[in-house]
Structure 1
């Protein structure tokens, strides 16, 4: 039995949990609290905090690991074992309890026992019995699912009750991409307008455009500070880049389609072709940028690096980029990292963030991400700035951190590109001898 007073806040694996009942017990763990492993095999949206149909609250049972049966379908036995044991840290010899719908729970149970997991049971009690215990990301609404976006697109009085966290004012759906809107014109989410990343960042450094130009380009899209903006992309990193810049500008409600265009297609949801134009240019309604703290420049980075215990400059590039084996870009010649930067994980190349995403492209669980950051002394009580080559990957990680409730965060806008162009800026290559 675990008792807490009403509305007391606890922290579990770095994620804030708000308990609203006076007495809480964890019967699912009561038989073997130190060894029972729990798997939540539902979609990541529900794991992160969106309420499932029939429930008031969303989230997952504390300590649960998010694993979907669908993720394992196209994996070999060796790949499944690596994913479950090495990445998800499951122990084959300790008991496992699974919860999701019966069909997927049985499928996952068979997949696990098929690779020698010894004791795999399906939780019989409905998840609603544990509703007051569930752990949710503090800002889970930042990441939306195709299901939610489809409800928004088809929003009417008949489905008002289904639309959790509905926009408070008007909304805009934006497909973001670099260059001409070729793919968008062929097929896109109904009602979406196209935004070119070139309108938000500019050569030669690909930093955010000046405030006056930024405000003008935002207003041309029909966006005010009160507009709810939902973004997605064929490369979702570009959508994340614009999303982060909109937050910097002062848009109060910015959301990202978790998994991007691929998630929308995988859900087999309606699309349309052609172009949706903005009918009216609006006034933004606030000074731009309203949140200058969300973007960090070179001079601010140099100040941060003087105190590595209270600040973290975090490289979210690949390990090969971090240690200087490659620059990661055809147009960036210098290799290495900012001297003093910590490694916050990345992906297999400069175009993805595999270390931060599930097999379906959605965000990995907060506990998995934060455990890797803790190993590099990247903490919630620090001022943290993420950087990559020019800003796309860093913006996506910024949004993940924001969804997880990290408050004092920013993107180092110039990234490795701007830093490395000045030979007076200290850089390093090679494997660090110790974590900073």
Structure 2
């Protein structure tokens, strides 16, 4: 009896704490947008990042974030080491006031976390739902799990596909992991069907066309892609856009984001689609999205050109090639460092803690350090094209006009001993 009573009291205490969480947000002093601007406060959006990027919340006519706001979702988990960089990226410091907005529990949680980091001047932003908004230029192309689940269920969704749509998981090799668990209804694309040895460059246009038609994809098919690694999905996205698919979308955060929401998965063989008879436009519809070796060399001489290395710093300066099958170390003289991740299989510099895309302002700040600007003719490259494709897709989401992927990347460049190589520490040229 005592044990039952103790459990009941513990449960009651937990319930009371849960019920009190919204009140924690109410304890923050209110601050209007005008006053926040006058105080030069950092405005912080505590909602999931897809609302920040542009998707409307339930009942909203407009999505996106309050103009000038930073994103720090209550759902993110930073390590002690990551907090320092996060505070720097978002302009947070103990001497600056911070105005938080979002759902009450999210505001309360972020306020708690910020207090632990020594940020004490905390306010709750008033009237944020009516405040002017801004958003990622192509936010519709970066979908989120609950939107996809509603689309599959036939429910009304914002930015719905205009016609036929198909979902694919993208990964390298046989669908071993896919067989054990995948998003219901998804087809499967092996990246081996998109690229070929010896350099893992794009397959021929004819082979690409056959792949698309075999999977029932026309130029006017909406294609939604996801991966266990978003780079793989981005690799497919880039090639489909090059071919001419007009509506290509990525699941932000990949399959992990689906798992986090505890949405249904299924097992078994890959879903197949009725083949399409005709793609509808001539492939490639966007040859400008693809850069060859010779074009990359020309770009290096172009005053407004930017050949952008999306590799780790250790790869960029020549401490490692990044790959077991690539022996030469170093990078391309004149290339600009566009950041990457912790290794050749990572794009963590571009991701929030949950693997979703960072706010555009943070990516732009990284690129600005190396004079990589939206008005330039920019070609992204990495070792063999995966990381570059993800950087390309993010630049496209931000509506950069003159972008491409240098498909051969470091592998192709380093294979020819006549091509110059640079190693060692270096800084951007101003």
TM-score, structure 2 as length reference:
0.90
Aligned to 1:304: 299
Residues 1:286 and 2:277 are matched in the alignment: no
Separation in 2 of the partners of 1:427 and 1:419?
9
Separation in 2 of the partners of 1:151 and 1:83?
35
Residue 195 of structure 1, CA deviation: 0.6
Residues 1:33 and 2:38 are matched in the alignment: yes
Residues 1:140 and 2:132 are matched in the alignment: no
Separation in 2 of the partners of 1:384 and 1:115?
38
- Residue-by-residue CA offset, 1:163-217 (whole Å, 9 max, x unaligned): 1111111011000011001111111111100111011111111111011111011
- Residue-by-residue CA offset, 1:74-99 (whole Å, 9 max, x unaligned): 634x543x143233331221110101
Residue 154 of structure 1, CA deviation: 1.1
Separation in 2 of the partners of 1:392 and 1:218?
19
- Residue-by-residue CA offset, 1:311-332 (whole Å, 9 max, x unaligned): 1000010000001100000000
In the TM superposition, what are the counterparts of 1:83-232 in structure 2 within 5 Å?
83-125=85-127, 127-130=128-131, 133-155=132-154, 159-160=155-156, 163-232=157-226
Separation in 2 of the partners of 1:337 and 1:31?
45
Residue 271 of structure 1, CA deviation: 1.2
Aligned to 2:332: 338
Separation in 2 of the partners of 1:241 and 1:287?
21
Separation in 2 of the partners of 1:216 and 1:325?
40
Are the equivalent residues in 1 in contact too, given 2:370–2:428 (CA < 8 A)? Answer: no
For residue 313 of structure 1, give the secondary structure of its aligned residue in structure 2. Answer: strand
Residues 1:58 and 2:58 are matched in the alignment: no
Higher helix proportion, which one?
2
Are the equivalent residues in 1 in contact too, given 2:312–2:339 (CA < 8 A)? Answer: yes
Aligned to 1:15: none
The CA RMSD measured in Å over matched residues stands at 1.5
For residue 307 of structure 2, give the secondary structure of its aligned residue in structure 1. Answer: strand
Separation in 1 of the partners of 2:219 and 2:361?
32
Residues 1:75 and 2:76 are matched in the alignment: no
Are the equivalent residues in 1 in contact too, given 2:214–2:274 (CA < 8 A)? Answer: no
Larger Rg computed on CA atoms:
2
Are the equivalent residues in 2 in contact too, given 1:109–1:122 (CA < 8 A)? Answer: no
Are the equivalent residues in 1 in contact too, given 2:40–2:97 (CA < 8 A)? Answer: yes
Aligned positions, number: 399
TM-score, structure 1 as length reference:
0.89
For residue 391 of structure 2, give the secondary structure of its aligned residue in structure 1. Answer: helix
For residue 56 of structure 2, give the secondary structure of its aligned residue in structure 1. Answer: coil
Separation in 2 of the partners of 1:298 and 1:116?
50
Are the equivalent residues in 2 in contact too, given 1:146–1:263 (CA < 8 A)? Answer: yes
Are the equivalent residues in 2 in contact too, given 1:342–1:435 (CA < 8 A)? Answer: no
Structure 1 residue runs of 5 or longer lacking an equivalent are 1-25
